[in-house]
């Protein structure tokens, strides 16, 4: 009887997984037609719809499993047997690793209130090698002979869309010029050079991305063509040829691509060949398998923890009023948990903070908000905590931080993990010259691009932004985040009488202020402390102090306009290259 129950549960889960993959692929396949029809709202809608497939299906399946198992739904010994029965079923799937994560999600949602248990879940990577590979290569191969232009013309033909090119000859000239400058001159080689270009095209927002690699002798060079579809047709916006450029496009700060893939691990390994420093978790996230990205992140962290002995400490930077944040110095993550009580002047609550993090997980992050992974019942060795840190966590969040003395563990009921970055205020303490200029410009661009995505950060102090290894500025403090269109941007009223002060003795303004009223003119008084840095910011972004900027952005959102935000530096765009050439020739 029990054996039949075990078999029924395992088969029910694997059948539901097949249905999940089918629906996932169906939505993903819309990417091409959305791009060809310039249906930008449709592609954003598909991105959210695809995220919700997992979120809707797993709880529904968990309820079904509870009905099947009856009173035995929380029997962990029985779940251990179900896992053993499920393993050979999942290993037959091309997306076997996704199937294992799917099982974990269903198990935890069914049983509830337990952490990563290797007896009943696929906690560790139990595969020494990737078992599956496509019969035919997942990429097309091109050999560079006498005509570089001919090779790229062939590529553009092979990846043509149901829409005409705006100016194919002009784009080919730009591609060839960039390739000669950044690849052939950097990697001189007399032998045969080949290009391996993934057959699957990546779609996100308004762009189509063709990804490949250049094999030059013993060197492997990344290659990415970015296509845009304007009113006059399709054009190549840029050619990217460095690991750093591709890493930014595939950043943990961006929404996920729609890209059709039969064997996820095969695609992931190809991408890792051109971005060797990119964690597997980030790559799985980027192609839409964010739940498995979370699994990969946990596995990598667990292995690191086993092989190190440094202690968890408070994360660098100014302590937050809402979140307690700690880190392991040897590992590139921070762990964030919500305090039980918030320090004044914060007046929010835990439910609102969680809703803010959920908003970020489902919204277009436009390269300016860090992705997070949410964990429940997260356990860590007690002896790896700096005593001062553990004491502080137990003080500020006693409802969710517990010490299991029997197992010598710290159990945190709820936390978020996020990529560790250098807080912007700390970064600016030791930087000057061009670096300061570039990062302060980035800071303003971050605020503007968030506004372009209908996001108002709320608290825009430097301490709430971080700097990545590529010197990208990213917002990471979400407890006051909201939709831009929900705010009322106002100009400060003029004093009614000559003697009026802006604020009374209690720090209250003399004029009426609504809960969502924002006065951009006041930003200049608290955003940046250092005079030299403030001047740089004013030079680039003084429009942020004018309500007009914010109201115009609101109108764009209300009209449904999707503002262009490119996942690479402006100087990388061919249009800027051509404009520079015209200026050098003295043309208008």
Residues tagged active-site: 371
For strands 488-489 and 517-518, give the pairing: parallel
Q: From CA 490, how far away is CA 550, in angstroms rounded?
A: 9
Q: How far apart are CA 409 and CA 379, in angstroms?
A: 6
- Tokens matching residue 369: 């908000």
Positive or negative: CA dihedral 240, 244, 246, 249:
negative
Q: H/E element holding 371?
A: none
Residue given tokens 């060809």 in the structure block:
36
Please give the C-alpha separations between residue 562 and each of 332, 369, 450, in angstroms, as whole numbers.
33, 18, 12
User: Burial of 98 by CB count in 10 Å (0-12 exposed, 13-18 middle, 19+ buried)?
Assistant: buried
**Distance from chain centroid for Cα 559:** 26
| Cα distance between residue 100 and residue 17, in whole Å | 10
Using CA atoms, how far apart are residues 199 and 159, in angstroms rounded to an integer?
8
Measured distance between the N- and C-terminal CA atoms of the chain, rounded to whole angstroms: 83
Give the chain's length.
588
Q: How far apart are CA 404 and CA 412, in angstroms?
A: 11
DSSP line for 153-182: HHHHHHT--SS-BS-HHHHHHHHHHHHIII
H/E run at residue 116: none
* 3-state secondary structure at position 262: coil
**E strand residue ranges, 446-529:** 455-456, 465-467, 473-475, 482-483, 488-489, 517-518
Task: Report the number of secondary-structure helices (H) and strands (E) in the chain.
Answer: 19, 19
Residue 145 and residue 218 in contact, taking contact as beta carbons nearer than 8 Å? no
Are 290 and 319 a contacting pair, CB within 8 Å?
Answer: no
């Amino acid at each position: 009887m029990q054996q039949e129950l075990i078999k029924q549960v395992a088969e029910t889960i694997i059948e539901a997984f097949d249905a999940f993959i089918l629906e996932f692929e169906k939505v993903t396949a819309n990417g091409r037609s959305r791009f060809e029809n310039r249906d930008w709202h449709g592609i954003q809608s598909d991105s959210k719809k695809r995220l919700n497939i997992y979120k809707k299906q797993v709880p529904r399946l968990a309820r079904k499993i509870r009905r099947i198992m009856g009173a035995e739904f929380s029997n962990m010994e029985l779940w251990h047997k179900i896992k053993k029965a499920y393993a050979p079923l999942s290993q037959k799937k091309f997306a076997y690793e996704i199937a294992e994560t799917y099982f974990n999600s269903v198990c935890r949602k069914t049983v509830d209130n337990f952490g990563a248990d290797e007896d009943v879940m696929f906690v560790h990577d139990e595969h020494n090698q990737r078992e599956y590979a496509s019969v035919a290569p997942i990429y097309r191969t091109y050999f560079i002979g006498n005509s570089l232009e001919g090779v790229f013309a062939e590529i553009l033909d092979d990846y043509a869309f149901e829409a005409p090119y705006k100016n194919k000859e002009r784009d080919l000239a730009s591609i060839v010029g960039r390739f000669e400058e950044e690849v052939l001159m950097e990697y001189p080689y007399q032998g045969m050079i080949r290009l391996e270009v993934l057959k699957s095209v990546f779609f996100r927002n308004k762009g189509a991305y063709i990804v490949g690699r250049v094999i030059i002798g013993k060197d492997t060079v990344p290659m990415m063509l970015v296509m845009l579809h304007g009113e006059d047709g399709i054009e190549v916006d840029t050619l990217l040829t460095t690991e750093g450029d591709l890493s930014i496009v595939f950043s943990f700060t961006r929404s996920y691509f729609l890209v059709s893939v039969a064997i996820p691990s095969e695609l992931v390994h190809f991408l890792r060949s051109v971005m060797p420093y990119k964690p597997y978790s980030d790559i799985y996230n980027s192609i839409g398998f964010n739940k498995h990205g979370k699994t990969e992140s946990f596995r990598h962290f667990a292995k690191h923890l086993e092989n190190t002995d440094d202690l968890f400490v408070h994360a660098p930077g100014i302590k937050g009023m809402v979140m307690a944040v700690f880190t392991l110095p040897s590992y590139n993550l921070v762990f964030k948990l919500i305090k039980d009580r918030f320090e004044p002047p914060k007046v929010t609550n835990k439910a609102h903070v969680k809703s803010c993090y959920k908003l970020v997980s489902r919204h277009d992050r436009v390269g300016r908000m860090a992705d997070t992974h949410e964990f429940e019942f997260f356990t860590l060795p007690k002896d790896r905590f700096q005593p001062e840190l553990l004491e502080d966590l137990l003080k500020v969040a006693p409802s969710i931080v517990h010490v299991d003395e029997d197992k010598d563990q710290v159990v945190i009921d709820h936390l978020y993990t996020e990529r560790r970055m250098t807080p912007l205020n700390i970064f600016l303490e030791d930087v000057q010259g061009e670096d300061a200029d570039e990062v302060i410009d980035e800071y303003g661009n971050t605020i503007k691009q968030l506004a372009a995505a209908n996001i108002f950060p709320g608290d825009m102090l430097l301490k709430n932004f971080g700097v990545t290894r590529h010197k990208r500025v990213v917002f990471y403090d979400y407890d006051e985040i909201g939709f831009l269109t929900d705010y009322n941007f106002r100009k400060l009223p003029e004093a009614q009488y000559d003697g009026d002060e802006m604020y009374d003795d209690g720090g209250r303004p003399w004029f009426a202020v609504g809960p969502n009223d924002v006065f951009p003119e006041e930003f200049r008084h608290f955003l940046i402390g250092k005079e030299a840095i403030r001047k740089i910011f004013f030079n680039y972004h003084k429009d942020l102090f004018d309500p007009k900027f914010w109201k115009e952005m609101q109108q764009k959102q209300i009209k449904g306009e999707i503002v262009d935000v490119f996942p690479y530096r402006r100087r990388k765009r061919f249009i800027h290259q051509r404009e520079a050439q015209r200026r050098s020739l003295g043309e208008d």
